Amino acid sequence: MDNHPVPYGGPDEAESCPGPPEPRRRAPGPYGPAPLISTLVTFPLAALVRLYAAMSAMSGDPLDGPEAEAFDRSFTHGFHLLQTALCAAAAVLLTSWLLPPRERLRPARALLALAAPVLVVTGFLVFRGTVDWPR
């Protein structure tokens, strides 16, 4: 007869012993589709908005005197606001990519990804409304 104890107190107890803990659930795919779709929409949209803003500076070329001064002042202010909105959109998009890939953060990631193109469009509308365009 063997004096060694049976592991886990016997065969019945070994079957009822809990196994390793369940691993944390991750979102299917590390990030989900929201940041990727937002990236594919935001960057081309931002490039078009930036190109439009840069080219629209020429609309003040035929102006002179106080009209040209007012246009330049308003254009500079509007362009700085647009640049700020584009930087904010890039930061929000980057944040949506950098959030840890957890299921509970999926709604936050989707909202941040949605906010990026919205910021680009909002920045464009603010730019268009801020500039004192020539008539």
pLDDT in tens, 73-87: 999 999 999 999 999
Q: pTM of the prediction?
A: 0.75
* Residue among 131, 128, 134 nearest 59 (CA): 134
The per-residue pLDDT for range 94-109, each reduced to its tens digit, is: 999 999 888 888 999 9
- Rounded Cα distance, 59 and 40, in Å: 30
Residues in the chain: 135
The Cα–Cα gap between 91 and 110 comes to 14
